[in-house]
Amino acid sequence: MRQNEVIGRVAVFKREINMNKKKVVLGGIGKLKVRDDWRRQGVATKLIDQAMPLFEKMGCDLVYLCTNIQNPIMTKFYEKYGFRYFEPGCEYCGKSGKKYHETGAMFAAVNTSLYEWLMNHTKPISIGCGNW
């Protein structure tokens, strides 16, 4: 590997949404990518290890991500960080205003009471405009 060569990336997001008639600060993980020749070497783990503590510092209540829920490698990876599959899914609007339904939603807790409410919720949650 050459010095300063990019082998992986992750993006951290934050937005305010309304959930259960309350303002909620939703953190998000997106754009996780590891170069093919560096996979299975702990790069994604290091990226998420660095990303997760940021959500508490940013004042987030929950952390959201979307993944291929049919891929057990991915779901097990995120479960190590406290993420759980949210079966009802999430709704969001695109830039054009069109509404989308996402079925690969996983959430992790920063605010435990809100997280428990969410995980017992039976309808899709609106996460605002744009998916990470």
Considering the entire predicted model, what is its pTM? 0.90
> Which of 77, 70, 72 lies closest to 34, judged by CA?
77
pLDDT digits (tens), the chain, 132 positions:
568 899 999 999 999 999 878 899 999 999 999 999 999 999 999 999 999 999 999 999 999 999 999 999 999 999 999 999 999 999 999 888 899 999 999 999 998 888 999 999 999 999 988 766
Query: Looking up tokens 């996780």, which residue turns up?
Result: 32
Residues 6+ apart with CB under 8 A from 42: none
* Angle CA 35–13–86, to nearest 5: 90
Q: Exposed, middle or buried: residue 122 (CB in 10 Å: 0-12, 13-18, 19+)?
A: exposed
Per-residue pLDDT tens digits for 20-40: 788 999 999 999 999 999 999
